[in-house]
Structure 1
């Protein structure tokens, strides 16, 4: 049986507000990045300008992937609020401290569990690269 959130309705509303504000900001940033990058290569310019623009677009695309992941994490956090499991670590079942959730409202793990998860993912990426 899954543990239920230790946070009050009022606290959950505060977290929901933080999540929705963060989501709106990311969507706005993505829209602005898309608007900036569309059509820029069609403008006349020298090769150095075009190379710089391509690098900028590549950087923006990598940011976009990160932002898309954060949006997914936000949606998952909103779902956990809805089903009453928000603030519970998905790996350990421990309560995620309120301070962590205020700083990173989409967090699904305690800091210790996240660190362990990140190390595991990093080692898997290294192993995958070695096998290629």
Structure 2
């Protein structure tokens, strides 16, 4: 059985067999009027960039978490340290916490972009449903909003 295809959306297969990874037809990914459709090479480049970013962020997060464990372990060792040493340790710990939180958020966005790519919704604005634009997606692969919706969000 074949699902009905709507322009700018992915075709959904209704068979019980799950789609293999990367089988979304690149031509089904959303583009703005006047833009060329996604090519298989462009989709693979986007996927490769996102997967590379995912691996980098996982390594960064792992490194930050190890650094935090070390800082937490050493934080109780205050004998002989003055207030400046304690303050420096606190600043370093807060910095590592901020880096870890940022890496976690970026990782979440990257994983979401990969899920959208696999689902065929990559390039569709999550707010208004219109195409984000291929050029914007290539420049910022984790984008979830079109330029117009992003501008509205930033003005709030």
TM-score normalized by the length of structure 1: 0.75
**Root-mean-square deviation (CA), in Å?**
2.3
With a CA cutoff of 8 Å and minimum separation of 6, indicate the structure with the bigger relative contact order.
1
1:3–1:93 contact (8 Å) kept in structure 2: no
Q: Look up the match of 1:11.
A: 42
CA distance in 2: counterparts of 1:114 and 1:39, whole angstroms = 39
Structure 1 residues 21 and 84: CA distance shift in structure 2, 3 A = same
> Is the 2:65–2:100 Cα contact (8 Å) retained in structure 1?
no
Q: Match for residue 126 of structure 2?
A: 90
Any stretches of 5+ residues in structure 1 without a counterpart?
121-132
Residues 57/119 of structure 1: CA separation in 2 closer, same or farther (3 Å cut): farther
What is the distance in 2 between the residues matched to 1:100 and 1:56?
Answer: 36
Give the aligned partner of residue 151 of structure 2: 115
Structure 1 residues 98 and 79 mapped into 2: Cα distance closer, same or farther (>3 Å)?
same
Alpha-carbon distance between aligned partners in 1 of 2:120 and 2:82, rounded to the nearest angstrom: 56
TM-score under structure 2 normalisation?
A: 0.65
Partner of 2:52: 21
Deviation at 1:47, TM superposition (A): 2.7
Higher helix share: 1
Matched with 1:38 is 69
Seen in structure 2, the aligned counterparts of structure 1 residues 2 and 83 have a Cα distance that, compared at 3 Å, is: farther
Within the candidate set 121, 124, 138, 1:102 is matched to: 138
Local SS of the residue matching 1:39: helix
